[in-house]
Structure 1
Amino acid sequence: MTVPPTPTRGPVGLTGRPARLFSVHVARNTRLTPHMIRVTLRGESLTAFVGDGPDQRIKLLLPRHPSQSLDALHSLTPRQMRELPDAERPVMRTYTIRSHDPSAGEVEIDFALHTPVGPATRWAIDAVPGQPAAFFGSVAAYDPPADTGWQLVVGDDTALPAVAAILESPSAPATTHAYVSVTDASAVLPLTTRVGTTVTWLPRDGGSGSGDDDHGASLVSAVRRASLPTGPGYVWLAAEQSVARDIRAHLVHERGMDRERVYFSGYWSRGRAEGE
């Protein structure tokens, strides 16, 4: 993702409050698809890391240059880090933890590959075992009310790690409809889902193999056409900022859903990098 999410509640440590900094290093680098890389991070402190939910976000810190040490950052908040001179400020990007293995002291982060290639994506592509990193966090927003009978989960490539984790969550309602926008058919990932879950993949090239050319229009169209169950529902939605806003407006204003049951987040904004 390329800009900070616009969630309903702010991540711990992103508002200037002290937050724990976890020092980690690269354990593995795995290419999942031509459009997604998984980097496994390991650190002794991760045995004590406690996640907040399936869509837990962190602020990932990466060295700006090979000789930069992240150790001196432990006494700083993210806000103070952003105020450092360019040469001293680490690369800071928001990502979702795909999975956490406390016994191994590991977390996995999936990076959606895109162009132009930003510094975090380039780091993920080139990452080798032993490379240092760190992160603040985490915070999660996924929180279906107790009476939820069904849920709608909507996202694009940048939200795919969170979507996959939500679909695996034991707290998911009995019925789930998921719509996922991806670059093309080669970006489709095998997902572990429960009985009662349907996943609709929406390749943005329309199956032509000609590239990424609809900029989220297929996602908006799919949700507009969707036949949703009756009764109390819940929506988790994350995509490009204008796409997420349009889908939420449709659900609340045209479908009449209670806005308190629609979580939405602009994971990125077209034409902008995180921090701009």
Structure 2
Amino acid sequence: MIPKVYLPESRTMITLEVRRREFLTPGFASITLGGPAVRDLVVAGNDQAVRLFFPREGQTALRMPTVSNEAWIAQLMLVPKSVRPWVRNLTVRRARPADDEIDIEFALHGDSPMSSWVRRAEPGDPAGIFDIGTMYRLPEHAEGQLLVGDETALPAILSILDGTPPSLATEVYLEVAATADIRTVEAPAGARIHWFSRDDEELRPGAMALDAVRGAALPSGRFYTWVAGESRLATTVRRHLVNDRGVPKRDISFFGYWRLGRSAPG
């Protein structure tokens, strides 16, 4: 069985600042965070996840937790909302330790706290991260791989593709909210990317990617699957592969990044 998450042996709260912001498509933006403390982040995989701490609107400073273990949650919830930062889980899109920088891509959703912060972020604004490990682990026996996700998993999947060898047959199913968010991306020679756009707020996120996987010709031979996004997408893809396609459970990594109708705590 593939372990759910690989945690680093040691980790610490890291305080950085915004260096740049770029809008990639109408529904995606990238923020570059920088500072000498970037060197304290041990990048262990292509889907390196971090908790991102960022100020609420009107806050002039960032009050980071002071403990570098899971006790940070209790510590944070004791802080009054007037000075308590928001926190969200995200993937490091790229890390450049030599430049003391990391890039994080965001799927923008209306006026959510995170999307609002991204839109108003300016160079010099504070932000912090806390390492929460990696989840992608390609088994040695894999002859191919299947990557599936909605827009929230897009940064992680693109990062995984950055580290995928050209010789590995890779099928990628990516669903985004709108056609305008489909973009040209660099991919290894062995990868085929299938894009799907909902363009309809009535469609459940992940439903199009799920239907595509159900009707797809999957990689031949023994393959590894990494699927993430809305909870039902992740769990149903896994159930389909195991029950209908005979894929061993141990060859599947699946992660519900979020659940429709349930807001993130903060």
CA distance in 2, matches of 1:254, 1:247: 10
Q: CA deviation at 1:75?
A: 3.9
Q: Verify the 8 A CA contact 1:28 1:40 in the aligned structure 2.
A: yes
CA distance 1:10–1:87, change in 2 (3 Å): farther
Match of 1:158 in 2: 152
Q: Distance in 2 between matches of 1:91 and 1:49?
A: 20
Identical-pair percentage: 33
What is the aligned counterpart of 1:8 among 4, 7, 10? 4
Deviations along 1:216-261, whole A, 9 cap, x unmatched?
2211110001101332110000011012111111011111111111
CA contact (8 A) 1:58 1:137 kept: yes
Choose which of 28, 32, 42 in structure 2 pairs with 1:40: 32
Of the three residues 196, 204, 207, the one matched with 2:198 is 204
SS at match of 1:147: coil
The answer as to whether partners of 1:153 and 1:237 remain within 8 angstroms in 2 is: yes
Q: Are 2:215 and 1:225 aligned? A: yes
- Contact 1:62–1:91 (8 Å) recurs in 2: yes
Q: Tell whether the 8 Å contact from 1:148 to 1:173 is kept in structure 2 after alignment.
A: no
Bigger drift between 168-177 and 213-222 goes to 168-177
Q: Bigger CA drift: 240-249 or 24-33?
A: 240-249
In the alignment, structure 2 segments of 5+ residues that lack a partner are none
Instruction: Show structure 1 runs of 4+ deviating over 6 A.
Output: none
- 8 Å contact 2:59–2:83 — kept in the other structure? no
Runs of 5+ unmatched residues, structure 1: 1-6, 206-210
3-state SS of the aligned residue for 2:95? strand
Q: Which residue of 2 aligns with 1:242?
A: 232
Structural RMSD (CA):
2.2
Asked whether the equivalents of residues 149 and 173 of structure 1 are also in contact (C-alpha less than 8 Å), the reply is no
1:1-20 per-position Cα deviation (integer Å, ceiling 9, x unaligned): xxxxxx9237669xxxx840
Distance 1:62 1:194 in 2: 34
Length-normalised TM-score, structure 1: 0.87
Q: For this pair of structures, how many residues does the alignment match?
A: 260
> Pick from 103, 112, 126: which aligns with 1:108?
103
* Contact 2:92-2:103 within 8 A present in 1 as well: yes
1:153-200 CA-to-partner distances (Å, cap 9, x unmatched) read: 000111000010111114576100000001122101221111111000
Contact 2:175–2:208, Cα closer than 8 Å, also in 1: yes
Query: 3-state DSSP class of the match of 2:22?
Result: strand
- Indicate how the Cα distance of structure 1 residues 37 and 199 shifts in structure 2: closer, same or farther if over 3 A, else same: same
